[in-house]
A and B are shown apart, each in its own frame.
Chain A
Amino acid sequence: GNSVTQMEGPVTLSEEAFLTINCTYTATGYPSLFWYVQYPGEGLQLLLKATKADDKGSNKGFEATYRKETTSFHLEKGSVQVSDSAVYFCALNSAGAGSYQLTFGKGTKLSVIP
């Protein structure tokens, strides 16, 4: 079956530091890959996505590249801000799965300190 593994948190960084959150996956078929973000007290928001190998998703300074050879979709940002403090979820859905449900990782909590 499908599964997503994320690096465990929490991750604490100083403002303007470089961020990497690792994500690897196992899936049948040709999955689409997503990063969702959950700010305190709010629902999940789509941050970025990639639908095929070598695609790069980007949004709000965050980037992730779909690497089929390493089955990875690591999230990066060059300079984090306090407002980036949130929980980040890597997720996939698989074209062969029928209902296109999302399979999520456990989430990585990021805290950015001034």
Chain B
Amino acid sequence: GAGVSQSPRYKVAKRGQDVALRCDPISGHVSLFWYQQALGQGPEFLTYFQNEAQLDKSGLPSDRFFAERPEGSVSTLKIQRTQQEDSAVYLCASSEDSLRSNQPQHFGDGTRLSIL
């Protein structure tokens, strides 16, 4: 089906390396969100795009985290100089238009990042 697609599904990196995680939202969805889910916890908000504009990045934990969505479709979350505490599942979600608050968000299967 045409759901939210994330790649890679699993990523192992050594501490200090840079990583890039990709999200393909549902076609036509204007809003795109990134969340971080630590083991045994609920997802926590990282950042939000409306089309290509990054309207909220208040959840990014440090300046090592950077996200972009240059053409308003595919998004990439980049983590520079990875640390062990970055190990988590990174979830991407999209919705038709999140300026309408009752629009449900549709999630991808996530990328499980492990930092050694």
User: Which A residues are within 8 Å of any B CB, using their own CB?
Assistant: 4, 31-32, 34, 36, 42-46, 49, 51, 89, 91, 93-95, 98-107
Q: How far is the CB of B94 from chain A (nearest CB, A)?
A: 12
CB-nearest residue of chain A relative to B4?
A: A43
Q: Are B101 and A99 in contact (CB under 8 A)?
A: no
* Chain B: number of interface residues, binned into ranges: 20 to 34
Q: How far is the CB of A1 from chain B (nearest CB, A)?
A: 11
Q: How far is the CB of A74 from chain B (nearest CB, A)?
A: 17
Q: How far apart sit A49 and B40, CA to CA, in the bound complex (Å)?
A: 23
Q: What are the residues of chain A within 8 A of B103 when measuring CB–CB?
A: 100
Q: Are A51 and B102 in contact (CB under 8 A)?
A: yes
Interface of A is mostly: strand
CB-nearest residue of chain B relative to A45?
A: B107
Task: Please give me the 7 A-B residue pairs with the lowest Cβ-Cβ distance, nearest first.
Answer: A104-B42, A99-B56, A43-B109, A101-B45, A44-B107, A100-B98, A51-B102
Q: What are the residues of chain A within 8 A of B43 when measuring CB–CB?
A: 44, 89, 102, 104
Which of these, B33, B40, B42, B104, contacts A89 with CB under 8 Å? B42
Q: Are A101 and B56 in contact (CB under 8 A)?
A: yes
Which of these, B4, B48, B109, contacts A99 with CB under 8 Å? B48
Q: What are the residues of chain A within 8 A of B99 when measuring CB–CB?
A: 100
* Residue B16, interface by CB 8 Å: no
Which of these, B40, B44, B48, B91, contacts A44 with CB under 8 Å? B91
Known A44-B93, A100-B101, A107-B41; 15 more pairs at CB < 8 Å: A4-B42, A32-B101, A36-B107, A43-B4, A43-B109, A45-B107, A51-B102, A89-B42, A89-B43, A93-B101, A99-B55, A99-B56, A100-B99, A105-B42, A107-B42
From A31, A43, A101, A107, name the one whose CB has the most chain B CB atoms within 10 angstroms.
Answer: A101
Q: Are B42 and A106 in contact (CB under 8 A)?
A: yes
Q: What are the residues of chain A within 8 A of B55 when measuring CB–CB?
A: 98-99
Q: How far apart sit A89 and B106, CA to CA, in the bound complex (Å)?
A: 14
Q: What are the residues of chain B within 8 A of A32 when measuring CB–CB?
A: 101-102
Q: Are A49 and B104 in contact (CB under 8 A)?
A: yes
